[in-house]
Structure 1
Amino acid sequence: RKTKEPAPDAVAKIFEHTRMYGLLIGKGGLYSNVLRISPPLTATNEHVEEALVILDHAFAKVQEEF
């Protein structure tokens, strides 16, 4: 990105992509441009890896659009 302006549209797209693949995250912040991730304390390494793969996929998809 060329500016550091809040990008709530991009966060909304990431939110949609992660939800489609079964990863429930939150969004917040003054401009709704912050991703909130709260994994359970019982998360295994496999769960964390799966979440990271989903997030990576979502970021890649959104980066193509913006």
Structure 2
Amino acid sequence: MYNWNTPTKHITRSKQSTIWKLNQHINFGLNGKKLNLRLIRKYWNDLAIDPKRKQLLRYLLWGKLS
């Protein structure tokens, strides 16, 4: 992941950094990488995603529209 506003080599492996990385990937693009669906399901309630994008992901992950 290329991030122009944060030095990613200083990020630790913590819950907050994992959530931050997922938010960055979902909101700003994957740059050719795949999402880890297990992590998305695990941190679903903590993700800060655009509501329409979150609705689409909810449908793709669990088959629910609402």
Fold agreement, TM-score > 0.5: no
Higher relative contact order by CA 8 Å / sep ≥ 6: 1 or 2?
A: 1
Higher share of residues assigned helix: 2
State the TM-score, normalizing by the size of structure 1: 0.30
